[in-house]
Structure 1
Amino acid sequence: MRRLLMVFFLGAMTVEAQQAGQPGPTIALQARPQPEAGGGTVVGHVYCGDTHAPAHLAHVSLSPVPQVGSQGGGRFGGGMVTADMDGAFLIQGVAPGSYYVNVQMPGYVSPLQSVASADLTDSSADAQLRVRQKVQMVTLSGAESVRVDVTVDRGSAISGVVRFDDGTPAANVFVSVYTPPVATATNATTVTSASQFGRGGLGTGGVRGSGSTQTDDRGVFRIAGLPPGDYMVSANVVLPAAATPAPAPTSGGGRTFNPGTNLIVYAPATLHRSGATTFTLGSGDEHNGVEITVSLRGLHVVSGHLSGSTDDGGRRRVVLHDTGDVAFSRNALVAADGSFRMEEVPDGDYTITVAGGGTVGTATGIGVAVHGGDVTDVVLTQ
């Protein structure tokens, strides 16, 4: 009853505002493809490749094949549907066009996981040929019904434990798998779980995979549904922001806080992706016993001052990059007095630049060597 009264009250307010000549509130909605009136239908079954049994309650979706001059979107593929207990599915209202058929089921490799991410948005004939070698495609020209049966293969799995250096388990820590760099370190790609997070892990040169989970109370993790290939494994430990130095007030009346550090540790116990162990998984392999040790020993502070700094409301940021591992970085906000502080920095050689606030620091960066102790006298010139 209270809810009905509230709806009536809000409705009365809207009518009253409109009668007074005041425009009512508007909400901008992003346009998205809609079901095609009299569109086509895609029907079929999904089967498990290892058991040949129906894939109970598998999720089935259609992904538009890119057309020349487009990014592959804009056509309604019927949305995601759930197969029944016999593995049967029905997708209605599909607009004319060609579509890749994707299936998501825990523990199994989704067809789109087995192809290079770049090929999925490439309209070239060569790219689409590579995709069709591993992913089934359907084409509809109107209101016809098209049948397609899909078989999904059991994926590989990798499992292990994350511990702190004193032996205690690291609980509730996110663990991810990565495809190794293809040509350079900048090409390594996080493989995320489409079924868990509702998105495919896209990246240059990488593949889609099911590759992120959280450790339990024992620090134990298991990631399944991986296509065959080479993988690195990392744990992401979020450290709280340091209590010192105290955040400085900004001209806007707020306070500038440095966020906590995302300490990404690669198996077995390194902060550098270049030093990570690579695990090779064959089709359907189960790789157990991966150990990741999280240690804060040997980590340092890099701090200093940005000369000529003016308070810009905390929009400027100092960024530190490892000269030997482009995957490693640290960053910190510049306080109102120009000071900055970055923590959890291992030994190494780095460059530091300033970004944000409408300015960018020295283009080549300032070199900083961290070896065996903190570096607290860095001076950057704006």
Structure 2
Amino acid sequence: MPSSSSHNHSSLQEGEAFTTGNFSLAPPKIQFDTWPMLPFRILSLIFVALASPSLAQQPTPAPSGGTVTGHVTCSDTQRPARFAHVMLFGVPTEITTPPNADPNAKPDPAQIRAALKAYTGGNMVQTQTDIDGGFEATNVVPGDYYVFASIPGYVQAGSIVQAALAAGADLRKSIPDIPMVHVTADRSVRADILVNRGAAISGKVVWDDGSPATQVTVTVVSAKTKEIVIPPQFSMLANPPMGNGGGEFSTTDDLGHFRISGLAPGDYLIKAMLQTRMQFVMRNGVMNMGNMMDSPIFVFAPAAFHQADAKPVTLHTAEDRGDEEVTIKLAGLHSVSGHIASAEDHHGLNTAAVVLTDTQDKDFGRSANVDAHGNFTVTFVPPGTYDLLVTNAADTEPLTKKPTAFMTVESIHTLRSYQDGKQSVIVTDSDITGQNIELAPAKTTQKDIDIEELMKN
């Protein structure tokens, strides 16, 4: 198989892998991380891209630009927002519209290209206010910028962008309540910002015996039928990059307590995410990122696996709501196991993703990867009727391990790809075994995609 550097791919096909120079990232194997989580999936991909020496070691031109000054004030106290994070965010010239939320969908190539270009080709400056709430950003590349401010407990930039989208705003032109500045070389422009106190939700996550569930990630999602998804050009605003310690997620402490602040008014569902099985291995300094991993369990408050059974929480401006509780009830859940093999010689396939999707609730599912012999076990499955889908099936072997700029990662080479397989599974009151599926070889073998070429097209 020719090296990926000899190909110029203009689009990403189903099942193809990402590469950066000599680094290859296998196709995503865990399915049910929904489109609202897309920014984080893109963030991990961007980290891989930036690990490529050709991208990470670009020469830095001498700084030349304008200056942006201003002041950040807390609307509820009318006092300065001390040591708040301020982001000058280059106004994008194009917006990639995300598709309808689909928990089974893979990131679209256009989404990936747009986010990569936003990170590697966009303009952004981060700074911080002083004790009086003032800030100054220097050597700003000429252009148009939105000016966001972020401080724990106040409505976050991502929420502001979502609200603007819901109101029909054209993000290329303006965002309500967010100043836009035009920066020119060797000149100073001012932008004053008012941050609004957000609402908060606090409570605890417990097991079905009442004991605290620790290290569980808790987030909130809109109770609306269709979630407003931030375009990839704004994906860096979706919580962590501004480094403020706040945002719309929390991790439970030793008592199972969580607190989520900085929320805009609205109706929300509280969702707990529990990772049940994962393993990362490093051997002699080489990181293996494709080890055994199951999809996380999502539980909605008060104790629902299906979003339709969740109880919405209504938050008003700056409301601080406590005593919410999420119960994780694992009793009564079962496993589905089997074997994935070649239809030609019946050998077990060492690479494949197995996905169970509830036929009555397409937003609910569980997934797992096969082991080196083609065996799989999908755990913690509620009773119901499911479609069992086998995808990304292949015979693979490790590639020669070569270091990137930051780490050495074990990647894989696909020897042969196989067609997808599907069958029905009914889970009642016991574990299901013997779900054995044999797959015919695919007409073509999946190819690696050079992420640097992906960015150019």
TM-score class normalised by the smaller sequence: 0.7 to 0.9
1:321 to 331, 353, 357: 357
RMSD value, Cα: 3.4
Q: Residues 135 and 88 from structure 1, CA distance in 2 versus in 1: closer, same or farther, beyond 3 angstroms?
A: same
Q: Residues 125 and 322 from structure 1, CA distance in 2 versus in 1: closer, same or farther, beyond 3 angstroms?
A: closer
Q: Residues 230 and 31 from structure 1, CA distance in 2 versus in 1: closer, same or farther, beyond 3 angstroms?
A: farther
Query: In 1, are the aligned partners of 2:164 and 2:176 still within 8 Å (CA)?
Result: no
Query: In 1, are the aligned partners of 2:295 and 2:368 still within 8 Å (CA)?
Result: no
Looking at structure 1, the residues matched to 351 and 228 of structure 2 have their Cα atoms a distance apart, in angstroms, of 26
Q: Does 1:216 align with 2:253?
A: yes
Looking at structure 2, the residues matched to 27 and 187 of structure 1 have their Cα atoms a distance apart, in angstroms, of 32
Looking at structure 2, the residues matched to 69 and 152 of structure 1 have their Cα atoms a distance apart, in angstroms, of 25
Query: In 2, are the aligned partners of 1:210 and 1:223 still within 8 Å (CA)?
Result: yes
Find the counterpart in structure 2 of residue 100 from structure 1. Answer: 146
Q: Relative CO higher for 1 or 2, CA cutoff 8 Å, sep ≥ 6?
A: 2
Looking at structure 2, the residues matched to 214 and 139 of structure 1 have their Cα atoms a distance apart, in angstroms, of 39
Equivalent position amino acid for 2:81 in 1: A
Query: In 2, are the aligned partners of 1:59 and 1:83 still within 8 Å (CA)?
Result: yes
Equivalent position amino acid for 2:85 in 1: H
Equivalent residues in 2 for 1:331-350, closer than 5 Å = 331-350=367-386
Question: Cα distance, 1:304 vs. partner?
Answer: 2.1
SS of match in other structure, 1:316: strand
Using the size of structure 2 for normalisation, the TM-score is: 0.64
Residues 277-324 of structure 1, C-alpha deviation per residue, up to 9 Å, x if partnerless?
211211111121111111211101111233534344x22121111122
Q: Which runs of 5+ in 2 are unaligned?
A: 1-51, 97-113, 280-287, 395-416, 440-457
Find the counterpart in structure 2 of residue 265 from structure 1. Answer: 299
Q: Does 1:115 align with 2:166?
A: no
Identity, in percent, stands at 36
Query: In 2, are the aligned partners of 1:60 and 1:103 still within 8 Å (CA)?
Result: yes
Query: In 1, are the aligned partners of 2:65 and 2:184 still within 8 Å (CA)?
Result: no
Question: Cα distance, 1:368 vs. partner?
Answer: 1.3
Query: In 1, are the aligned partners of 2:351 and 2:374 still within 8 Å (CA)?
Result: no
Find the counterpart in structure 1 of residue 335 from structure 2. Answer: 301
Looking at structure 2, the residues matched to 195 and 135 of structure 1 have their Cα atoms a distance apart, in angstroms, of 16
Question: Cα distance, 1:371 vs. partner?
Answer: 1.9
Query: In 1, are the aligned partners of 2:203 and 2:258 still within 8 Å (CA)?
Result: yes
Q: Does 1:45 align with 2:71?
A: yes
Looking at structure 1, the residues matched to 78 and 61 of structure 2 have their Cα atoms a distance apart, in angstroms, of 33
Q: Residues 324 and 33 from structure 1, CA distance in 2 versus in 1: closer, same or farther, beyond 3 angstroms?
A: farther
Find the counterpart in structure 1 of residue 264 from structure 2. Answer: 227
Query: In 2, are the aligned partners of 1:112 and 1:135 still within 8 Å (CA)?
Result: no
Equivalent position amino acid for 1:284 in 2: A
Looking at structure 1, the residues matched to 420 and 94 of structure 2 have their Cα atoms a distance apart, in angstroms, of 40
Looking at structure 2, the residues matched to 322 and 188 of structure 1 have their Cα atoms a distance apart, in angstroms, of 27
SS of match in other structure, 1:326: strand
Find the counterpart in structure 1 of residue 123 from structure 2. Answer: 76
Query: In 2, are the aligned partners of 1:109 and 1:227 still within 8 Å (CA)?
Result: yes
Residues 139-173 of structure 1, C-alpha deviation per residue, up to 9 Å, x if partnerless?
12332100111000001000111111111111222
Find the counterpart in structure 2 of residue 57 from structure 1. Answer: 83
SS of match in other structure, 2:159: helix
Find the counterpart in structure 2 of residue 360 from structure 1. Answer: 419
Q: Please tell me whether Structure 1 or Structure 2 has the larger radius of gyration of its CA atoms.
A: 1
SS of match in other structure, 2:155: coil
Find the counterpart in structure 2 of residue 282 from structure 1. Answer: 316
Residues matched between the structures, number? 326
